[in-house]
Structure 1
Amino acid sequence: MTAEATSSNLTGHNAIAEVSIVLPTYNESKNIPLVFEALKQCLKGVAWEVIVVDDNSPDGSAEVAKKIGQQDSRMRVIRRVGRRGLSGACIEGMLASSAKFVAVMDADLQHDETLLPRMLEELRSDQHDIVIASRHVEGGEVGDGLSAFREWGSNLANSLARRFLKVELSDPMSGFFMLRREAFEELVPSLSSQGFKIMLDIVATSNGSLRIKELPFVFRERLHGESKLDTLVTMDYLGLLMAKLFHDRLSIRFLMFSFVGATGVIVHLIVLKTLLATQIAEFSAAQLVATFVAMTSNFFLNNRLTYRDRRLKGAAWFRGLLTFYLVCSFGVLANVGVAELIYAQQPLWWLAGAAGALMGAVWNYVASKTLTWRQS
């Protein structure tokens, strides 16, 4: 067999992949064929595969990828039903790989796929464990891919990551990277399936054990579809930040639930003050109205953010709201009961109040997770 034939066989459709490229998708049906064609052009001579992890996109993204896979075995598809989330999708995709190296990139063509061969070469040299595409090293640019507001938010998130997690990266918010699969396998038990910043989670969880290389790239403008990131991602990111600060002793979901609960306190006080100042209601009635407004606000935010992967819609939304009211009502009883018990033993108002609030928060979280946003 000639050298040319041997090379063709090693990089053919049935070759064992040296690198798996994980593409988490949601409503990317128009972009998937374009990305696949771009990968074929830039990865010539490499044994590779694509693992599309689709969160049951209503636009048929999974079906588009499967049709490509019927013609080219380098396309694999994981269709997730009943669960959502970028980090979780990336983790499932990387776990499905048996390749020596795994890469994660967006399916919206904003990440420059031509950087993949260079990433692979850096890892083949055995001097690095992870190679990260950075918009902030020399030669890299944000380009037109981010709005001014999102660029400001990204820069702020970068500063927070460096300050609190001691993650010394120029672009810790990057979602474009390649790493050794064995390194990922060691870290995966401690990674969170929630949130959007899987690379930051990987690097922070490694506690400095990973040998890191950053390469510059220019963030491109999306061709088709809309960005899946919204302003609530800021709170989601803060949840990851806090979870890592507490060394993962508290789950990101519980921290998000607590953040939302804190906003509920503010909503309650604003409504109560407004009703009393305008003399629309007496204190008891105003307190009752403020309580229900705060609970409704908490339910809405938790449904949008904390449980975005289990988001309730339609009739399930109204049933969920009713169960959330019920859960929170018992949470008040738990709060008051624990506070009174502690105050009777140790009459320190702040200790009793804090213990009661913590008990109420834990009850609301556990009960609502089980009853309101139960996993189907």
Structure 2
Amino acid sequence: MQLSLVIPTYNECQNIPILIERIAKVLEGVEKEVIVVDDNSPDRTWEVARTLSARYPWLRVIRRMTDKGLSSAVLAGFEIAEGEILAVMDADLQHDEQALISFIREMESGADIVVGSRKVKGGGIVDWSPIRKFISGVATLLTKIALPQSVSDPMSGFFAVKKHVYVSNKNQINPRGFKILLEFLARAKHCKIEEVGYVFKGRVHGESKISSSVVFDLIIALYELSIGKVFPTQFIKYGIIGISGLFVATFVIYLCRMFTHLSEAYSIAISIEISILTNFFLNNFWTFRPKRLLGIWNILRGIITFHAICLGGALINQAIALKLLTFGVDVYIANAFGYFIAAIWNYIINVNITWKGRPEHG
């Protein structure tokens, strides 16, 4: 099979019949399959697409009941695709299906990745506000800075890759966010990339999926694909939680010294225990969210495991802080230094034991 075209959908019941008819005309004579991957749309887009498959035998429909997200939908389609060329386009009629012919032509000429671009010859944008153009421009600039290999329109959701490119890189692809093209640009090495100009049209039916979360996902994705290779996002999150735990521990020491007659050693010990508990719950909710522990028994088991692992860190914290106190170091500074050394130990062990391999809904 020459071409597998994946179309991720969510609430596109009005657009999908129009798009499939257009594709049938443009790709007539092309050995193809079109895979609609729908995230169980409330408007029953998947049902509309399935009725069309009786007329178009090359149309396949996947209705996803649990997984959500555009990028993961694209990868789900790629995984079952049989074509040598794997292409992606939106269902909102904003991408120009005529460009698919140029995609195929460029692939036949040796390209490994072909990107539909709004910013090269033949490309353009219809009915975009100045604000959206500005946001797109800034996003493009950030992408070009973050990625060593980029194109004129890295934010494009209209592109194609050779199947061998996908197979070689699929285990590294992060299926989060809207811009799956960024993953291929960042991870596919020594690939020939070509661009095809097309005019991005205005949406007729349905609502745009663009939101503030999309911008946030883009920033996170760019971080992970650049600096994140050295300092993983998970480590940064763990560090932020660690800092918050330091504030908690410091505040507890303050309360103990102001309102109790406990010694400095006991104050530090209590602060460590309370910060361990707050760190566990915050890390479970945020840092390790994809593997978070659910249910009272899993959480209790996690707390026990977390405590057991953090015991070594607590002893390190306590030993360093008390040793520094003997040199006349301020109790707050002594505790902070011990806390940070212990945090490194806690992260390395917890990431490999407490939250290792636990499914989000398991």
TM bracket (short chain): 0.7 to 0.9
Cα deviation for residue 262 of structure 1 reads: 4.0
Q: Which runs of 5+ in 1 are unaligned?
A: 1-16, 274-281, 283-290, 313-318
Q: For the structure 1 residues 25 and 320, does the alpha-carbon distance in structure 2 shift closer, same or farther, using more than 3 Å as the test?
A: farther
> Residue 198 of structure 2: which of 217, 221, 228 is its match?
217
AA partner of residue 108 (structure 1): D
Question: Residues 132 and 176 of structure 1 are in contact (CA less than 8 Å); yes or no, is this contact kept in structure 2?
Answer: yes
Residues 1-376 of structure 1 mapped to structure 2, 5 A cutoff: 17-126=1-110, 128-145=111-128, 148=131, 150-207=132-189, 209-245=190-226, 255=233, 258-259=236-237, 262=240, 338=313, 340-342=315-317, 344=319, 352-357=338-343, 363=350, 374-375=360-361
Question: Residues 27 and 57 of structure 1 are in contact (CA less than 8 Å); yes or no, is this contact kept in structure 2?
Answer: yes
Q: Distance in 2 between matches of 1:198 and 1:68?
A: 27
Question: Residues 32 and 58 of structure 2 are in contact (CA less than 8 Å); yes or no, is this contact kept in structure 1?
Answer: yes
**The residue matched to 2:171 in structure 1 has which SS?**
helix
Q: Distance in 1 between matches of 2:287 and 2:13?
A: 29
AA partner of residue 83 (structure 1): D
Question: Residues 258 and 361 of structure 1 are in contact (CA less than 8 Å); yes or no, is this contact kept in structure 2?
Answer: no
Cα deviation for residue 180 of structure 1 reads: 1.4
Q: TM-score, normalised by structure 2?
A: 0.73
AA partner of residue 211 (structure 1): K
Q: Distance in 1 between matches of 2:353 and 2:158?
A: 35
Residues 235-244 or 340-349, more deviating: 340-349
Question: Residues 261 and 298 of structure 1 are in contact (CA less than 8 Å); yes or no, is this contact kept in structure 2?
Answer: no
Identity within the alignment, %:
33
Cα deviation for residue 242 of structure 1 reads: 2.5
Cα deviation for residue 211 of structure 1 reads: 0.3
Cα deviation for residue 224 of structure 1 reads: 2.0
Q: For the structure 1 residues 296 and 338, does the alpha-carbon distance in structure 2 shift closer, same or farther, using more than 3 Å as the test?
A: closer
Deviations 1:287-334 (A, max 9, x none): xxxx9999999988789xx65xx9x9xxxxxx8799889978986996
Residues 89-98 or 254-263, more deviating: 254-263
Deviations 1:237-296 (A, max 9, x none): 22222322257577xxx7269559849978x98xxx9xxxxxxxx9xxxxxxxx999999
AA partner of residue 144 (structure 1): D
Q: Distance in 2 between matches of 1:299 and 1:84?
A: 21
Q: What is the CA RMSD across the aligned residues, in angstroms? A: 4.4
Cα deviation for residue 170 of structure 1 reads: 1.0
Q: For the structure 1 residues 63 and 146, does the alpha-carbon distance in structure 2 shift closer, same or farther, using more than 3 Å as the test?
A: farther
Question: Residues 87 and 160 of structure 2 are in contact (CA less than 8 Å); yes or no, is this contact kept in structure 1?
Answer: yes
Q: TM-score, normalised by structure 1?
A: 0.70
AA partner of residue 255 (structure 1): T
Question: Residues 320 and 338 of structure 2 are in contact (CA less than 8 Å); yes or no, is this contact kept in structure 1?
Answer: no
Q: For the structure 1 residues 341 and 172, does the alpha-carbon distance in structure 2 shift closer, same or farther, using more than 3 Å as the test?
A: same
Q: For the structure 1 residues 70 and 327, does the alpha-carbon distance in structure 2 shift closer, same or farther, using more than 3 Å as the test?
A: same
Q: For the structure 1 residues 88 and 326, does the alpha-carbon distance in structure 2 shift closer, same or farther, using more than 3 Å as the test?
A: same
Question: In terms of Rg, which structure is larger?
Answer: 2
Q: For the structure 1 residues 292 and 367, does the alpha-carbon distance in structure 2 shift closer, same or farther, using more than 3 Å as the test?
A: closer
Q: For the structure 1 residues 64 and 244, does the alpha-carbon distance in structure 2 shift closer, same or farther, using more than 3 Å as the test?
A: same
**The residue matched to 2:181 in structure 1 has which SS?**
helix
Q: For the structure 1 residues 38 and 263, does the alpha-carbon distance in structure 2 shift closer, same or farther, using more than 3 Å as the test?
A: farther
Q: Which runs of 5+ in 2 are unaligned?
A: 252-258, 260-275, 325-333
